[in-house]
Amino acid sequence: MSRAVRPRAARKSPEERAAEIRAGAHDVALEGGLWAVTLRSVAARVGVTPALVAHYQPNMEVLVADTFTAVVAAEMAEVAGIIEPYSSPTDRLAALIHTLVETGRDDVTAVWLDGWSLGRRSAPLATAVRGQMDAWQHLVLGVVEAGCSTGEFTASDPQTVAWHLLGMVDGLSAQGLVSYRDPAARGRLITDALEHALGLPAGALASPESAPAPTPAPAP
């Protein structure tokens, strides 16, 4: 019986091949979670042999950790870009909350959940998860501290408020993966708690004002 012959992978530079493997792992993680990032799945996505993936990524724990970081850091950069145009800390916080609890982010939420679960037995992944949690804490803390400095917020402990917000977002987003309650109800739980913690009137975080349009670049 004849066997199917795998087409030979096109020759690429080591840098190109390594980047291709990282991109393949990234796509696999978003489609199937970190659990799905294996030698075989990444090789199949890229169209190479598992041995070639192993050559460029000899430690799969490190590849999974790096993939987690890439997925989560990309989302944080996106969210930072969404809230940056708002001049008011209250509107930035409202935009951040509503962006994170809206539908369409289940793939990244699943990667977070896998990171916490798999990180129990993987030191590289646990380190990556803690690093990204700290990065998110820093982003949220910046918004809360800005509101405190302008007098919009009255929190006595901005660090705790930021941690509180992230804990609620993480927990309620996880519940959303199994369609527990609707996104609007989950969002209200967060905004109601944050309004109380920050001394804001009820409804202040219900929705942000429209973000200002970007300033057009000057003509050359």
How confident is the prediction along the chain (220 residues), in pLDDT tens digits per residue?
Answer: 444 445 555 677 889 999 999 999 999 999 999 999 999 999 999 999 999 999 999 999 999 999 999 999 999 999 999 999 999 999 999 999 999 987 688 999 999 999 999 999 999 999 999 999 999 999 999 999 999 999 999 999 999 999 999 999 999 999 999 989 888 888 899 999 999 999 999 999 988 865 555 444 444 4
pLDDT at 35: 96
How far is the C-alpha of 107 from the C-alpha of 73, rounded, in Å? 14
pLDDT at 121: 97
- Tell me what percent of the chain is helix, strand and coil, each rounded to the nearest 5: 70, 0, 30
- What domains appear along the chain, each with residue ranges and CATH number? 12-58 (1.10.10), 67-198 (1.10.357.10)
pTM, to two decimals: 0.88
The pair of structure tokens assigned to 114 is 């896998």
Q: Residue 216: how many CA atoms within 13 Å on its side-chain side? A: 3
Q: What residues have CB less than 8 Å from 113, skipping those under 6 apart?
A: 33, 174, 177
The pair of structure tokens assigned to 108 is 């990244």
Cα dist. 139→79, 143, 200 in Å?
Answer: 10, 7, 20
Q: What residues have CB less than 8 Å from 84, skipping those under 6 apart?
A: 92
Cβ 53 vs Cβ 89: under 8 Å: no
The pair of structure tokens assigned to 82 is 């969404």
Cβ 168 vs Cβ 205: under 8 Å: no
